[in-house]
Amino acid sequence: MPRALKRFFLYLAVAGIVIWTVAPYLWLIISSLSLKIDLLTVPLRWIPPRLTLENYYSLFFTRGSESVNARLFFHSLGNSAMISLTTMFICLILGVLAAYAIARLRFKGSNMLVLLMMATQLVPPIVLVVPLYVIMRKVDLLDKHLGLILVDISIVLPLVIWLMRGYFASIPSELEDAARIDGCTHLGALFRVILPLSGPGLVSVMIFAFIAAWNEYLYAFIFTNIDAKTIPVLIGEFSTKLGLEYLRIAAAGVLASLPPILLALVFQRFIVRGLTSGAIK
């Protein structure tokens, strides 16, 4: 095949990949900015004749009998932010300490503990949902922020430990040895020598933790009802129970997906490294 023709096919294939990846999401965005009447035309005009923020506006601001939706949306957005950020910080602290112990202290049985932790990632959430529901009802954690945070931590933490462990292992141990000779304790070495060198690792772990907690659906769906309802649960309700107008669901979907997607696009280097270093979701 001549070179020019080959280049042509390559660019054609790349264009196909770009369209396949972006088109569905782009259509969601376009829909969220459209008036319903413009999307009902046959044949459909892919670029609508006018754009509107009406669908977004209606999610946030009260208008007559629809006030419930607006309140729900604000409330759930706040819950999601609060739960994801708390989960992220707790996981960061617990994860760094545990990962340091596994990577550097290498005591007997530490490998077994890592494996046990990885194994918990493969327990299907649906197995845990039924007994957790029973337990949480007993200790009054249903529909509480704390309940969902605890569950989210257990999902996110193994991943954080796995990634941080890899990161710590890549820092030369001579640096730490030098600090130890100067009289530093292990913890002193962790905070004064290792952590200052781990910036990128910490950033990637925080992003992973935030995205995982923000996107989590099943547990939030089962364990929250009103007070602690997160934004994914609300979107699920919009399209099932509440039967909200599609274009408003689209607007809510765009808003809910913006934090994880923007974070992922901005910090993609960190994420790609993280994904490939453990083959863990």
Partner 1 sequence: MKITRPRSRPVFDDPRTLGLLLIAPAMLAILGVVLLPMFNSLWLSFQQHDLSRPQEDAFVWLRNYADLLRDPRYLNSLQATFKFSLFSVLLELALGVAIAIILNQEFRGRGFVRGLMILPWAMPSIVNAAMWKWIYNADYGALNALLAQLHIIDHYQVWLAEPTTAMILIILANVWKETPFTVILILAALQTIPEDLYEASRVDGATEWQSFLGITLPLIMPVLMIAGLLQFIWGFQTFELIYIVTGGGPFSSTEMTNLRVYATTFRSLRFGYGAAMAYLTSLIIFIPAVVYIRSAYRKVVEV
Q: Per CB under 8 A, which of residues 89..148 are in contact with partner 1?
A: 94-95, 97-98, 100-102, 105-108, 110-111, 113-120, 122-135
Residue 199: Cβ within 10 Å count: 9
> Which sign does the torsion angle of CA 47, 53, 54, 56 carry?
positive
The one segment of 51-59, 69-77, 171-179, 273-281 that binds partner 1 by CB under 8 A = 273-281
The one segment of 51-59, 60-68, 193-201, 215-223 that binds partner 1 by CB under 8 A = 215-223
Q: Which residue lies nearer to partner 1 by CB, 11 or 74?
A: 11
Distance CA 214, CA 199 (A): 22
Least CB distance to partner 1 at residue 64 (A):
25
The one segment of 51-59, 68-76, 194-202, 267-275 that binds partner 1 by CB under 8 A = 267-275
x-or-dash string of contact with partner 1, 162-191, rule CB under 8 A: ----x--x-------------x-xxx----
Length of the chain in terms of residues written: 281
Q: Which residue lies nearer to partner 1 by CB, 64 or 235?
A: 235
Measured CA angle at 226 (ends 220, 230), to 5 deg: 40
Secondary structure of the chain: what % helix, strand, coil (to 5)?
80, 0, 20
47 binds partner 1, rule: CB under 8 A:
no
Q: Which residue lies nearer to partner 1 by CB, 60 or 246?
A: 246
Residue 166: Cβ within 10 Å count: 16
192 binds partner 1, rule: CB under 8 A:
no
CB 179 within 8 Å of CB 141: no
Distance CA 115, CA 41 (A): 56
Q: Which residue lies nearer to partner 1 by CB, 64 or 122?
A: 122
Least CB distance to partner 1 at residue 172 (A):
15
Distance CA 158, CA 216 (A): 15
